[in-house]
Chain A
Amino acid sequence: MSSSVEAITVLSSDGDEFKITVSAAKLSKPLNWMLEDVCFSDDCDEVPTIEVNSKTLVKVIEYCEKHAPRANSGASDSDAEELKKWDIEFMKMDVKDILFHILMAANYLHMEGLYDLACQTAADLMKGMTVSQIRKIFHIKNDFSSEEQEQLRRQHPGCSFD
């Protein structure tokens, strides 16, 4: 690709166009490979599609743009501290509505930092949930028979199936 390109255009799975700067796109391995392989110059009219919906892609790009400067050059401790605070604010989102989609996207785009952050956020949210709340967000059915439930209760007094 030509070195003059500073931002590339990608399509979401919904077909919307998004701009992402080259340095931010480098946070994702597959996007980085694309940058090396595909022609992104102005006379190339092929726009790559990323299999992530628009709502999620907006957030992923926001994360990339924020983290790119630090990833590309070592940052001071105060920057790292600032970024940590930003991450916490950034992750204040609904679990089912968007956090799970971000997890899928980070996994698909091989973004280790975002994946770790999203996993930890999900874990922190789950900590205080009841068993039935967990089943609901993960669409899991309680498949213990009443005998098995009884057995678990005997082995672990106080355990709750609700």
Chain B
Amino acid sequence: MEDDKFFLPHEIIFSILKRLPVKSLLRFRCVCKDWNDLFKTSLFIKEYLHHSSHHRGPSLLLQWDYSIFGMLDSDKKTFLPLRAPSVNQPAYMIDIIGSSYGLVCLQIKVGGSLFLWNPATREVQYVPRSKNTRWYQICHIGFGFSRVVNDYKIVRTYYYLKRVEVEVYSLSTGSWKQLEFGNLLEGVSLHGRFAATDEAIYWFAYLNDIVILSFDMATEAITLIPAGPNIHWNVKLMAYENKLALLSGMKLWVMEETTSGGFGQRWNKTKLILNLPSVHSMTIWKNEVIYKCEPVGLYLFNLTTNKLKFLIPWEYGRLMSAFNYVESLVSIGKKNSWTSS
């Protein structure tokens, strides 16, 4: 039959391959030289990342009780325990700082060493320390990817002489850079975990009142934004539909761009699960808020349908953190493998 001489054009094969899980691609590099080379090209890596982040949708990266990592597929059906990153430290010493476009930033609890991890390819790289001697200062660390400059960045803020100092590590240069903000950050203190959108990362900060510190990932500029009304310390910073959002119990405010820093209330739902014991919001996953309820399990609250659904039971002890995660072939060690072209 004619099928024996039927060849698919290269572009169609490319379209199929970018829809495969990384695990399969790593196996299929043994198919032929062309495929082995293709999976290392910046074009394929970029296209793969684009497809997995904009079409397939994020999985949920979970960390339990300091020692167990797991991944919940974007279809919410497949849950897989994940091998802990090999950083020469017991897994309970690892904190997840953030996850962005296929890479995860890790920090070791004692000593504060930083690592970048690609859970799909299992590649782990130590992030060299800055030459700054104030490394051990109390600090807040943020991590994200800027699509504008096509670079992953780690932002480290620490206190020095009553002001916040900022230094940035860029994966494309492989080095740290100290940033200068004059008096802008004098008397400012940072609080809690950061939230990241494609454009910026954000922290709660205090300067006479609660404000939000925004760090632009492309321009590396810092802005202090008024946090708006109804803000108290139980509010969490989140990203929702690539916008900064504030989540307080069962209320969510989403920052609208048009109001230049004001928060328009988008969603307000109360008394839904407040009767459950110790319920904590973890993150927003697609259009759902992840709540943990100890010791029952994880719940999903759908922001479109306003319905609450049970997700997974409590099997592994205390859940420490939950992050949106997309698969990628991005290589941390080989510089510029994803920045060129």
Contacts and interface: CB of A to CB of B under 8 A. Distances in A.
Contacts of B15: 115, 119
Contact of B8 (A104, A126, A135, A143): A104
A107 B7 CA distance: 14
B132 interface: no
A161 interface: yes
Interface in B309-333: none
Contacts of B35: 140
Interface in A119-156: 119-120, 122-123, 126-127, 131, 134-135, 138-144, 148-149, 152, 156
Nearest to B3: A96
Nearest to A140: B32
B148 interface: no
Interface string B177-195: 0000000000000000000
B232 interface: no
Contacts of B16: 103, 119, 122-123, 126
A100 to B, nearest CB: 6
Contacts of A100: 6, 8
B259 interface: no
- B30, B34, B35 interface centre (most CB from chain A within 10 Å): B30
Nearest to B6: A100
A103 B30 CA distance: 24
B234 interface: no
A160 interface: yes
B6 A135 contact: no
Contacts of A148: 33
A159 B26 CA distance: 8
A64 B31 CA distance: 35
A144 B30 contact: yes
Contacts of A127: 20-21, 24
A82 interface: no
A123 B20 contact: yes
Contacts of B161: none
B163 interface: no
A97 interface: yes
Nearest to A96: B3
B32 A143 contact: yes
B28 interface: yes
A141 B20 CA distance: 21
A126 B24 contact: yes
A141 B27 CA distance: 16
B274 interface: no
A128 to B, nearest CB: 8
B8 A103 contact: yes
B28 A139 contact: no
B8 A140 contact: no
Interface in A35-94: none
Contacts of A104: 8-9, 12
A44 to B, nearest CB: 33
Contact of A126 (B6, B20, B33): B20
A97 B8 contact: no
B27 A131 contact: yes
Interface of B: 3, 5-9, 11-13, 15-17, 19-21, 24, 26-36
9 contacts: A103-B8, A123-B16, A123-B19, A126-B20, A127-B21, A134-B31, A138-B8, A152-B36, A160-B30
Interface of A: 96-97, 100-101, 103-104, 107, 115, 119-120, 122-123, 126-127, 131, 134-135, 138-144, 148-149, 152, 156, 159-161
Given A138-B13, A138-B31, A144-B33, 17 more contacts: A96-B3, A96-B6, A100-B6, A101-B6, A103-B12, A107-B12, A119-B15, A122-B19, A123-B19, A127-B20, A131-B30, A131-B31, A139-B7, A140-B35, A142-B31, A142-B32, A152-B30
